Amino acid sequence: MNEREFRLHLEIETTVLEVWISQGWVVPEVTDQGRNFREADIARGQLILDLGNAMGVNEPGVDVVMDLVDQLHSLRATLRDLTDAVRRQPSDVQQLILSELTRVDVLRQR
């Protein structure tokens, strides 16, 4: 989606979008035709609006939340890669990993 469509969808002004981009909260793909936004950008934009408007979070707070969201997505991707790597292991190795995870979980619950 182009910049105009993005702004219309979220009902924001160009100046607001420029702040979001300068803060790194939204990172559009830049092509010869201009900036292109994905569905993930729409979701991030809606979150930013909700934080600021509905929840009263200020700009530094939005920055913290967006950083945490990015960290969470990165951790999820890493966990997905780790899970895929474990699945490619022989079943005896998978059982050893599962046993160790169970042992660590029991220790954590104490």
Mean pLDDT of 16-35: 96
Which amino acid, 19?
A: V
Residue 95 φ/ψ, nearest 5 degrees: -65, -40
**9-24 pLDDT tens trace:** 999 999 999 999 999 9
Question: How far is the C-alpha of 101 from the C-alpha of 96, rounded, in Å?
Answer: 9
Fold of 3-109: Multidrug-efflux Transporter Regulator; Chain: A; Domain 2 (1.10.1660)
- In this predicted structure, the answer to whether residue 102 has a pLDDT above a threshold of 90 is yes
Q: What is the pTM of this model?
A: 0.80
Gyration radius (Cα) of the chain, Å: 20
pLDDT digits 0-9 by tens, 51-83: 999 999 999 999 999 999 999 999 999 999 999
Whether 66 and 25 have beta carbons less than 8 Å apart is answered as: yes
Strand locations in 32-96 (E): 34-36
Residue ranges per structural domain of the chain: 3-109
